[in-house]
Amino acid sequence: MSLPSAQKRVVPSVAWQELVAKYQNPELHRSLWQMVNSIAPFLALWYLMYRSLEVSYWLTLALAIPTSGFLMRIFIILHDCGHGSFFKSTAANDLVGSVCGVLTFTPYLQWRHSHAIHHATASDLDRRGTGDVLTITVSEYRALPWYKRLGYRAYRSWLVMFVLAPAFMFLVLHRFVAPTSGKRERFGVYLTNLALLALFLVLGWAIGFRQVIMIHLPLMLLSSSVGVWLFYIQHQFEDTYWEHHPEWRFTLAALQGSSYYKLPKILQWFSGNIGFHHIHHLSPKIPNYNLPKAFEENTLFQHVTAVTLWESFEAASLKLWDEEHKKLVSFRHLKSAASR
């Protein structure tokens, strides 16, 4: 996962704005087709999960795996709408994004606001804290009292980061207004909550409240965990990029602070091509279905850190930013450094 030293911290001389411009135009027929091939299978599988309750709950849980994959694709549609890249029309993006927000338990307008902050501040050591995974430096960690070190270790543990935190975020935290939200975002949270309540009451009346929970809770737990994993891996790898604000550069934050998550084709499809994350951060206006083409046609986008599925499990052990060596390190690094 390491880049050759000659490629590190080098601002591309090529006019990348010209490279990405031709991929930024959404195509209506492709956007509509993605809605069809994501939402229709999700609804069909959701119904099959309901019918499978009559056979075995183990079958229901097995069906939750592909169903959650389509739920992730629905979130990618919301994601593109939030960047204004799914449709040319702002109204269409907001309408579809809000509907997808109900299906994914995500208040679209509030999420769009915090995610925009993430894109504007990614890899900036002086602007951490909104829409990102909390990452502290080795020196910051060493300066913490023991109980805060323990808290950070717990926060960055597999159990919290990929199981408890995703469930808490989508099921609980998204139900409340964020401190940074404005009037429109607050209204969006309330409207999403009302829509979810109405949907739960209607489905509960139609098929039973217990059945609704038995079907949708596993979907939310699985899809939220995988979604957080994708977001985590695309920024948390050894040769990622962090800098203090005066030295921070947008292009480096995109091309070196975001990875190319090289997934098998089927997983790339279910994750809506979000593995081309370095291109996405460079130009969020590119619809997800144009990202592979942008990658294939431009060598600039190919000479970046590629993380395979297997390597990503190793990268998940990296927790601290080493400012001296410019790399993300594990807690074990602290012990080895102290023993030298």
**Model confidence band, residue 17 (pLDDT cutoffs 50, 70, 90):** confident
Tokens 């060596």 sit on residue = 325
For residue 178 the two structure tokens come to: 């964020």
pLDDT at position 337: 60
pLDDT at 14 over 80: no
Give the best-scoring range by mean pLDDT among 92-101, 113-122, 176-185, 251-260. Answer: 92-101
Helix H segments across 27-182? 28-52, 57-82, 90-103, 108-121, 138-143, 146-155, 158-159, 165-171
Residue 121 in this model has a pLDDT that exceeds 60: yes
Q: What is the pLDDT, as a whole number, of residue 314?
A: 87
pTM listed for this prediction:
0.92
Q: Tell me the percentage of the chain whose pLDDT exceeds 90.
A: 84
- Please, which residues bridge with residue 276 across strands? 260
Domain range summary for the chain, segments of one domain joined by +: 5-339
Instruction: Specify the pLDDT at position 85.
Output: 97
Q: For residue 5, is pLDDT > 70?
A: no
Q: Average the pLDDT over 208-229 and give the result.
A: 96
Tokens of 129: 């804290």
Q: State the SS3 of 227-239.
A: HHHHHHHCCCCCC
Phi, then psi, of 260 in degrees rounded to 5: -95, 105
CB environment 289-316: b (16+ within 10 A), e (fewer): bbbeebbeebebbeebbbbeeebbeebb
Q: What is the mean pLDDT of residues 296-318?
A: 90
Instruction: Label residue 6 by pLDDT band (50, 70, 90).
Output: very low
Is the confidence at residue 71, as pLDDT, over 90? yes
Confidence class of residue 9 from pLDDT cuts 50, 70 and 90?
very low
Cα gap 268→262, rounded to integer Å: 8
Q: What percent of the chain has pLDDT over 70?
A: 94
Give 176-204 pLDDT, tens digit per residue.
Answer: 998 888 999 999 999 999 999 999 999 99
As a whole number of angstroms, the distance between CA 64 and CA 68 comes to 6
